[in-house]
Amino acid sequence: MGEDPAMTSRYRPAFGPYTRAVNDPIVIEDALVVTGAVDRPRAAAVRVADGRIAAIGAPAERGDRRVDGRGLVVVPGLIDAHAHLTLGGRALGELDLSDVRSREEFEAAIARRHRELPADAWLVARGWSEANWPGQALPDRTWLAAAGARPAVCHRMDLHAAIVNDAVLSRCDLARPLAGGRVHRDAGGAPTGLMVEAAVWELVNPLVPDPPPALARQAARRAVRLANENGLVAVGAMERLRDAAEIILPLCPELPLRWRVTLLERDWAPAIAAAAHLPRDPMFEVIGAKAFIDGTLGSRTALMLDDYADDPGNRGTLVDIAADGRLDEWAGAVSAAGLSPSMHAIGDAAVRIALDAHERVQRRHPHAPAPRIEHVQHVAPEDLPRLRGVIASMQPLHRALDARVAATRLGSARCAGTFAFRSILRCGGLLAFGSDWPVAALDPIAGMRAAITGLSVEGAPFEPQERLRPAEALRAYTAGAASALGMHGHGAIEPGSAGDLTILDADPLGCDWVRRPPRVVMTIVGGAIVWDARA
């Protein structure tokens, strides 16, 4: 299959609303500029030249490209601190089961996809959640019967569990010991097809064929386009070394997005060593390495200090490097390489392990890039003060999604420590927001709405005392995300800072976030208009 010719050149008009008029200075006039800077929070104009903010509030100069900003609001370019861009780009071409509301719909979607695919292709799907259908029964391999002998893998929405069919099970080494995780079996000992945590990453994922490079490049381009359309100028991208080095890096000159890559590699030592040889560029930099401490609340694998309310005796699963007892060794090696250790921790017991590791690695490597804790979803009240000065990389859309299952998984009393945005800020934690796309939508406006309104995806209020003010949510998607990703000179509109801007059709600090959140009108990266909804 060839590449989409419309996507091969950034200059072709066929590229839709994209333009790359890089070198013309731009001035946005008669707008409301929300700078995010303390000394001058608001202005009416901003000028960008040579890729940087040249002036604030000054008139246009001769030769400037003038943008009529009447009715528009300019904010610092939005940054997503945690997304899986190449994975998400690939997911755009895979079967999406997030709208499935019953077993019948699930099976019909599998049957339809099976008919469309070439004979030798795997069927890969994602997005299902048992919370979406009555009875909340977990699927098993019989739900995939329509795929016949074709290997089929359907990832749960959180990517921490998957359902596979016999064609996949027969290829898996089911006897292999796992670093946290489980092959579910029925009463007779036969695998049901449900694979959890390391059973997915170690047994199933390595079997799924990688797409050919042309398709992988096309997926990366689609992901970047989606990011720009959603107002994003930079992403903290969780990527495999191979994708970073062989797909993203060669494409960087034509991808209008700043990549700050955190390597997602279980075999971490060679990955860290290889990262040292990759170039650093304003558009691409490897900034860290990621490890998992636990799983997710939805899959009941988040590591909790107490039992799950709906699964007595289960406190979740220690996984990956933490299960191997090598968390400190890993964090030390990542820091010594000048990278930021990024630790996935969702349950309160996992967050405690991450905080302990954080303190030890900061003592040993005080000048290394700050460690990040990803998700920080449940914090024991006594651990909140320990978050002072710690980067809490959180995803407000996960809050809106998990609000549906939190009360059943944890009991209502423990929900108070869930997605405790306000408490974390009050304790001096550094909030950096992201999406975890494709787990949740690559949409910072939807994320801000979730943080500001406190509403679940179904519109129900959830722990409203932890909601944020609009300025705090905007900060977590700009200056907060920039500092988490080590992006100095980003995240605020100040003379000399990067020429990255997001232009909205309403004031995020004054709009009605429940009924009419702002929409993205234009995205500017390094002084170039990379998305213009009006074009």
Note the residues at the interface with Zn ion (CB under 5 A).
Answer: 436
Question: How far does Cα 2 stand from its chain's mean position?
Answer: 29
Q: Which residues contact 497 (CB under 8 A, 6 or more apart)?
A: 52, 53, 489, 490, 491
Across-strand partners of 239?
Answer: 263
Rounded to the nearest 10 degrees, the angle between the axes of helix 444-453 and helix 396-410 is 50
Cβ proximity to Zn ion, 124 vs 235, nearer residue? 235
Q: Closest distance between Zn ion and the C-beta of residue 296, in Å?
A: 10
Cβ proximity to Zn ion, 290 vs 315, nearer residue? 290
Residue with tokens 């007779």: 188
Cβ proximity to Zn ion, 264 vs 474, nearer residue? 264
Q: Closest distance between Zn ion and the C-beta of residue 113, in Å?
A: 25
Q: Closest distance between Zn ion and the C-beta of residue 410, in Å?
A: 21
* Alpha helices, H only, 237-297: 241-242, 249-251, 268-275
Alpha-carbon span 340 to 38, nearest angstrom: 28
Alpha-carbon span 382 to 399, nearest angstrom: 21
Cβ proximity to Zn ion, 298 vs 499, nearer residue? 298
Residue with tokens 């006039």: 29
Query: Which stretches does DSSP call E strand in 264-371?
Result: 284-292, 340-345
Taking CA atoms, 287 is separated from 229, 259, 284, 433, in Å, by 25, 10, 9, 17
Q: Closest distance between Zn ion and the C-beta of residue 477, in Å?
A: 16
Q: Closest distance between Zn ion and the C-beta of residue 238, in Å?
A: 5
Cβ proximity to Zn ion, 146 vs 226, nearer residue? 226
Alpha-carbon span 454 to 409, nearest angstrom: 19
Cβ proximity to Zn ion, 84 vs 315, nearer residue? 84
Q: Closest distance between Zn ion and the C-beta of residue 91, in Å?
A: 13
Alpha-carbon span 293 to 172, nearest angstrom: 24
Complete DSSP assignment for 366-434: TTSPPPEEEE--B--GGGGGGGTT-EEEE-HHHHHHHHHHHHHHH-GGGGGGBS-HHHHHHTT-EEEE-
Q: Determine the 3-state secondary structure of 46 from DSSP.
A: strand
Which residue has its beta carbon closest to Zn ion?
436
Cβ proximity to Zn ion, 166 vs 436, nearer residue? 436
Q: Closest distance between Zn ion and the C-beta of residue 485, in Å?
A: 14
Q: Closest distance between Zn ion and the C-beta of residue 375, in Å?
A: 8
Cβ proximity to Zn ion, 285 vs 436, nearer residue? 436
Nearest alpha-carbon partner for 393 in 139, 80, 181: 80
Cβ proximity to Zn ion, 402 vs 500, nearer residue? 402
Q: Closest distance between Zn ion and the C-beta of residue 407, in Å?
A: 24
Q: Closest distance between Zn ion and the C-beta of residue 83, in Å?
A: 7
Alpha-carbon span 323 to 146, nearest angstrom: 37
Cβ proximity to Zn ion, 128 vs 531, nearer residue? 128
Nearest alpha-carbon partner for 387 in 413, 417, 352: 352
Q: Closest distance between Zn ion and the C-beta of residue 396, in Å?
A: 14
Cβ(141)–Cβ(163) under 8 Å?
Answer: yes
Alpha-carbon span 262 to 236, nearest angstrom: 7
Cβ proximity to Zn ion, 436 vs 463, nearer residue? 436
